[in-house]
Amino acid sequence: MDARLRAAKAAGFELAEFHLWRDKPVDALAQALNETGMRLTGVCVDPRRSIVDPAERAELVTAVRETIAATAKLGKPDLIVASGFRVEGLSEEEHFANAVAALRAVADVAEEAGVTLLLEPLNTQLFAAMYLVSTKLGLDLVEAVNSPNLRLLYDVWHSAVMGEDMAQVLAGRIHLVAHVQVADMPARNEPGTGSVDWAKVTQTLADLGYSGAIGLEYFPTLPMDQSLALTRQKLDC
């Protein structure tokens, strides 16, 4: 994994992100970050626990605390939180209230540590029973918690799968978005291999005022150098 950070640096990248951390060589990653000057922008809270099931709330708080401690040597990257699955028998109002309570609890931990949490909406195509599959709902939760240390991760692919209008769902709320990830439709491959209008995506982000990082979360169909070249062309970066 540390070799991949070095390869990313050699390819001209300054930022990186990855999924879970417990199976990663954290010390080696820290050394690679220090030696290359790269910055880690995101890591998933590990283990993943539900924000809507009260029975998992204590475990969620513990997971956030442990992830903060483990990734401190990686430069205190943002930590990605998924919602977990719906709980049978709970109303929409109860799901929302449980999510706000859980996110408030972990936001308190994040505030104390000086770390930002990123709440990520997914989609029903991959996760039929997932609670958070709507950008609007994700933004509503971030607003309800009202913590500077809780923001949204907006994934263009998940949003497109759900048929959302990007400009519409983000209008007036881009200040709540701290990270964006991209992949093309329909197969989640590199930009330029599917149906997404990337010129429109990048222009919409610029028009809304987004100036943060864009993560490449896709399955490449080309050799990596060609895949990255196509992606840079389509994202004009």
The residues annotated as belonging to the active site are 120, 217
d(CA 80, CA 78): 7
Pair 6, 29: CB distance under 8 Å: no
Distance CA 40, CA 25 (A): 14
> How many whole angstroms separate alpha carbon 99 and alpha carbon 83?
8
Residues in the chain: 237
Q: How far apart are CA 67 and CA 76, in angstroms?
A: 10
